[in-house]
Amino acid sequence: MTVEDMISSDSHIIEPPDLWERRIDRKFRDRAPRVVHEENGDWWTIDGEPSMSFLGVQTGDRFERDATELITEARFEQVRPAAYDPSAYVEENALDGVMGSVLYPSEALLAFGIPDSALCSATMRAYNDFIAEFCSENRARLKGIALINVDDPVEATKEMARCRELGLVGAMISVLPPTDRAYDQPMYEPVWSAAVDLDLPLSMHVATGRNALSVDEKQTSVRKVSEAAFYLQDHFVRKSIGEMIFSGVFERHPKLRVGSVEHEISWIPFFLFQMDYCYTDRPVRGEWHRFADPDVRPSDFFRKNCFVSFQEDAVGIRERDVVGIESLMWGSDYPHTESTFPRSRQITSEILADVTSDERAMILRDNVAKLYDFDIESLRR
């Protein structure tokens, strides 16, 4: 493969300020995400609570500036137009060697943290309409992921079916559901079944817990900084995937695909070891699920049913055989501050320097193309 053949499994758009004003159900309009103009920048608020400022204004700046010069407040006018213009999006990413992109939101990631379930669902429905329309400009290169609130699993399956009809290719669920409704509960069986029936891979993106942190440049708490930098990175996704595996979700739904997005991959080898060790060497407690096949281990379900989107985790790549080559997918995180844009070719070449050409093709292109039905030959025309 050539370096121009990459497909990003994790890219983002920047929502226009009037997205929810134009699209959300009228009864939720006064509580929907909206932009408030502050002295130093524009800030999103949700139901009157501050959320975050605009991203997509300093893409690539981390390569040119010191971290102390990077900002957390900006105005929409500063956002690069390609972040919300689908035609420009395709053109700009092609310059970075990315011929196709799987699209996640920016502000709407924090919709998962909306306590009011009805407002949460309405906010997501409006976004789903928007991203389907965005991708319709070039469905071959832009593949949208729906946002799904699973508080009510039956309603969730209806929205999943609606989004599939709209042309969306996957569904994102909270990386951390409420404590009393973890993903090992039988209540989610309709969601798992619908995901298989509709051929919708499910993904769990960083910062999508039901109590997600907002961005606050004035925060002084070292605890909050450490949570954002480390604790949130993979703790919650390990918990949720572990609960799915140990409760037999993938045994009951062998075609279900569930992914970890933007949590990187270095944590996975030890996670797999610990799951297998717990299953084989610790006493069985209570109603602990045992797999029907006595030779199967938890790590087998991870490699068969789970996929992992990473950005620039060279350490994790060195342990790729443990994780499973078929599970790995690269993403640029465009146009966020942490993005590899406009150096994606250089960064992936460095990270994958010791990887065979066949495995490199799988990680940078083929795995995500297979999961989300990208036609690689048509992308080359």
Q: Does position 214 have pLDDT exceeding 60, yes or no?
A: no
Residue carrying structure tokens 């407002």: 119
Rounded CA separation 46/154 (Å): 25
- The predicted model gives 332-342 an average pLDDT of 97
Question: What stretches of 167-206 show up as alpha helix (H) in DSSP?
Answer: 189-197
- CATH number where 273 lies: 3.20.20.140
- In terms of residue numbers, what domain contains 317? 3-12+83-379
Average pLDDT of the chain to the nearest whole number: 93
Number of helices (H), then strands (E), in the chain: 16, 11
Residue 217: the pLDDT is: 43
What number is the average pLDDT over the span 159-181? 96
CA-CA distance, 214 to 304, in Å (whole number)?
34
Tens digit of each residue's pLDDT (9 = 90 or more) over 256-301: 999 999 999 999 999 999 999 999 999 987 777 899 999 999 999 9
Residue 104 lies in a domain: yes
For position 323, what pLDDT does the model report? 97
Distance between first and last Cα of the chain: 15
Rg (CA), the chain: 20
Residue 64 lies in a domain: no
Give the whole-angstrom CA distance, residue 379 versus residue 239: 37
Say if 38 falls within a structural domain.
no
| pLDDT tens digits for range 104-147 | 999 999 999 999 999 999 999 999 999 999 999 999 999 999 99
The pLDDT-based confidence of 232 (bands split at 50, 70, 90) is low
φ/ψ of 344, rounded to 5, equals -65, -40
Please list, in sequence order, all residues whose beta carbon lies within 8 angstroms of the beta carbon of residue 207, skipping any fewer than 6 positions away.
Answer: 109, 110, 175, 213, 232
pLDDT of residue 219: 41
Whether residue 283 is contained in a domain is answered as yes
Which regions of 135-189 does DSSP assign to beta strands (E)? 142-147, 170-172
Does any domain span residue 326?
Answer: yes
pLDDT of residue 5: 86
pTM above 0.85, yes or no: yes
Q: How many CB atoms lie within 10 A of CB 276?
A: 15
- Give the percent of the chain with pLDDT over 70: 93
Confidence of residue 149 (pLDDT cuts 50, 70, 90): very high
> What is the residue-wise DSSP string for 198-230?
TT--EEEETT-BTTPPPP-TT---HHHHHIIII
pLDDT grade for 4, boundaries at 50, 70 and 90: low
Report pLDDT for 210: 84
The answer to whether position 52 is within a domain reads no
Helix/strand/coil for 111:
helix
pLDDT in the model for residue 190: 98
Q: In this predicted structure, what is the pLDDT of residue 356?
A: 97
pLDDT digits (tens, 9 = 90+) for 50-88: 999 999 999 999 999 999 999 999 999 999 999 999 999
Q: How far apart are CA 317 and CA 379, in angstroms?
A: 26
For residue range 174-190, what is the model confidence (pLDDT) as tens digits?
999 998 999 999 999 99
Specify whether the CB–CB gap between 174 and 112 falls below 8 A: yes
Position 195 in a domain: yes
Phi-psi region of 264 (alpha: psi -120 to 50; beta: other; left: phi over 0): left
3-state secondary structure of 53: strand
Report helix, strand or coil for 103.
strand
Q: In this structure, is residue 258 part of a structural domain? A: yes
Question: According to the model, what pLDDT value does residue 2 have?
Answer: 53
Tokens of 145: 């992921």
> What is the enclosing helix (H) or strand (E) of 328?
strand 328-330
What is the rounded CA–CA span in Å between residue 365 and residue 331?
A: 10
What total of structural domains would you count in the chain? 1
* DSSP state string for 253-284: -TT--EEEESS-STTHHHHHHHHHHHHHHS--
